Amino acid sequence: AQSVTQLGSHVSVSEGALVLLRCNYSSSVPPYLFWYVQYPNQGLQLLLKYTSAATLVKGINGFEAEFKKSETSFHLTKPSAHMSDAAEYFCAVSPRRWGNEKLTFGTGTRLTIIP
Amino acid sequence: EAEVAQSPRYKITEKSQAVAFWCDPISGHATLYWYRQILGQGPELLVQFQDESVVDDSQLPKDRFSAERLKGVDSTLKIQPAELGDSAMYLCASSLGGSGMSTGELFFGEGSRLTVL
């Protein structure tokens, strides 16, 4: 079975500082990996996805993530935090099989931006 | 831009009552999912449809939950009777599913927030 582990349920950074949200995955086969963002009382919005092309993936709002197979990691970063980045972030994994895009989510990391 | 539509956005009910949520996926998306998200946790899959057929409902509490997608388009999730522990956000998502163009991405609606009193 596939799973993801998000280290740190809460992360606080100062505005303008580096954002680093950690995600490690467990999968017997190379998976698809995703980061989603959720604002209060909203659905999930895709930030970026890894589907076996470039290992460094760029997403929306200045976020990027690097797939590291040797470390089974897919950490999310942003060079300079903005107040609007305050939200809940979810890492997710999906099996690499056509017709089975079932996502398994991590428990989430709440990002707080300090003015 | 195509979106997944869900209703109602908010529902307050008393325990033992029946509740229903509706989802209309993005046009052309064959796969539809219902996820439950308890406050402070990640979403958990309840049921997955491929067209009108259930692909996975292993985590659906079948004694009180039911889901259908009769014509392979929109879907309804029902809870009867509702219990206090059912208070959560119910998220619907859709994907291309089974297509060679698919890259595994799910598109989510805004969710239906259920509060059971």
Read off the pLDDT of residues B89-117 as tens digits, 9 standing for 90 and up. 999 999 886 555 556 688 999 999 999 99
- CA B12 to chain A, closest CA, distance in angstroms equals 15
Q: How far is residue A1's CA from residue A26's CA, in Å, rounded to a whole number? A: 8
Question: Measured between alpha carbons, how far apart are the two ends of chain B, in Å?
Answer: 37
B53-77 residue pLDDT tens:
998 999 999 999 999 998 889 999 9
- CB-based burial, B24-47: b 16+ in 10 Å, e otherwise: bbbeebbbbbbbbbeeebbbebbb
pLDDT for A32 equals: 87
Query: Does A44 contact B at CB distance below 8 Å?
Result: yes
- Give contacts of B108 with chain A, Cβ < 8 Å: 36, 43-45
Query: Does B14 contact A at CB distance below 8 Å?
Result: no
Q: Higher pLDDT residue, A57 or A94?
A: A57
- CA B105 to chain A, closest CA, distance in angstroms equals 7
The percentage of chain A sitting over the pLDDT mark of 90, rounded to a whole number, equals 70
B101: which 2 tokens?
């163009």
Query: Does A45 contact B at CB distance below 8 Å?
Result: yes
Give the residue from chain A lying closest to B114, CA to CA.
A41
pLDDT for B99 equals: 53
Instruction: Please list the helix, strand and coil fractions of chain A in percent, rounded to the nearest 5, in that order.
Output: 10, 55, 40
CB contacts < 8 Å between A and B, how many?
74
Q: How far is residue B31's CA from residue A100's CA, in Å, rounded to a whole number? A: 9
The percentage of chain A sitting over the pLDDT mark of 70, rounded to a whole number, equals 95
The region of weakest confidence among A75-79, B36-40, B97-101, B106-110 is B97-101
Q: How far is residue B30's CA from residue B97's CA, in Å, rounded to a whole number? A: 6
- CA B65 to chain A, closest CA, distance in angstroms equals 20
